[in-house]
């Protein structure tokens, strides 16, 4: 992770910068919570953001933040890996305090379901952050197919940026047709225009930790959503989605963040 950028890192950083500039995601002095799942994509996003920060006049305060859920292994082990990776970037790591829940399966003894979005929104509001940066996830890819059905045609794609109302102390998503409320948090999908293969290439080139998912996590839920909203429908994109949702190894290696 020297000063000279690798080609793969430069590519991801440029795409990230384009998305940020196109959507005016950052302003001088912004405090941004960077959600680290434990996967390689969120770490790659963090490193690309750090590099971009060094090359632009916009001064950001970057807060790496991890919500322990056991998806990538025992929380203590994942935390140690993330702390070391953040330390090499000159950053500290904040950890959410999530009450442990009783596991539902012996094979996932370290896994606990966590309402990640709400935990992140609450943390950002508490820390005074104005944005939450999210890495590329399988859910984001799937929503591109599922959104029209799930939202009855109101949304047809996953936006690069959302604004969430936190003016009353509880985060509530704002309707797209409503005016921007006075107190909002921005949800920033900085890797929304970067192919998963490019992110994985960057992670490997940079020597970032690449942890394997230990539990299916959202895959079971994704399969249920597919069947509920797509039923007997068919087509290349739908079949690809079904294949992904039933192939955790492929998802882990190629698509999961």
Asked whether residue 35 is domain-assigned, the answer is yes
Model confidence over 184-211: pLDDT tens digits?
Answer: 889 998 988 888 889 999 999 999 999 9
pLDDT of residue 205: 97
Model confidence over 144-160: pLDDT tens digits?
Answer: 555 555 445 555 556 78
Asked whether residue 127 is domain-assigned, the answer is yes
Write out the two tokens for 49. Answer: 């953001």
Asked whether residue 177 is domain-assigned, the answer is yes
pLDDT of residue 207: 96
Annotate 209-226 with b (16+ C-beta within 10 A) or e (fewer): eebebbbbbbbeebbebb
Asked whether residue 164 is domain-assigned, the answer is yes
pTM: 0.73
Asked whether residue 39 is domain-assigned, the answer is yes
Beta bridge partners of 131: 32, 186
How far CA 54 is from CA of 30, 47, 69, 74, 184, in Å, comes to 15, 11, 32, 34, 27
CATH of the domain at 181: 3.40.50.620
Asked whether residue 65 is domain-assigned, the answer is yes
Domain count, the chain: 1
Asked whether residue 251 is domain-assigned, the answer is no
Q: How confident is the model at residue 91 (pLDDT cuts 50, 70, 90)?
A: very high
Average pLDDT over the chain reads 75
| Domain membership of residue 61 as a residue range | 7-214
Asked whether residue 234 is domain-assigned, the answer is no
């Amino acid at each position: 992770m020297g000063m000279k950028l690798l080609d793969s890192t430069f590519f991801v950083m440029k795409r990230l910068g384009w998305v940020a500039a196109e959507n005016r995601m950052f302003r001088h002095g912004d405090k941004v919570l960077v959600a680290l799942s434990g996967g390689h994509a969120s770490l790659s996003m963090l490193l690309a953001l750090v590099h971009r920060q060094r090359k632009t006049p916009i001064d950001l305060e970057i807060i790496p933040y991890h919500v322990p859920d056991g998806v990538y292994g025992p929380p203590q082990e994942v935390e140690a890996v993330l702390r070391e990776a953040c330390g090499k970037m000159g950053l500290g790591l904040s950890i959410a305090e999530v009450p442990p829940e009783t596991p539902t399966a012996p094979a996932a003894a370290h896994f606990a379901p966590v309402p990640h979005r709400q935990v992140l929104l609450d943390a950002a509001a508490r820390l005074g952050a104005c944005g939450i940066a999210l890495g590329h996830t399988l859910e984001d890819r799937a929503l591109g197919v599922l959104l029209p059905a799930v939202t009855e045609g109101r949304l047809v794609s996953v936006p690069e940026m959302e604004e969430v109302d936190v003016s009353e102390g509880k985060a509530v998503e704002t309707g797209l047709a409503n005016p921007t409320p006075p107190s909002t948090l921005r949800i920033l999908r900085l890797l929304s225009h970067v192919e998963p293969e490019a992110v994985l290439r960057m992670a490997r080139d940079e020597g970032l930790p690449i942890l394997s998912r230990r539990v299916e996590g959202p895959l079971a839920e994704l399969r249920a959503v597919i069947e509920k909203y797509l039923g007997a429908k068919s087509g290349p994109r739908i079949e690809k989605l079904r294949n992904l949702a039933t192939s955790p190894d492929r998802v882990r290696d190629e698509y999961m963040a």
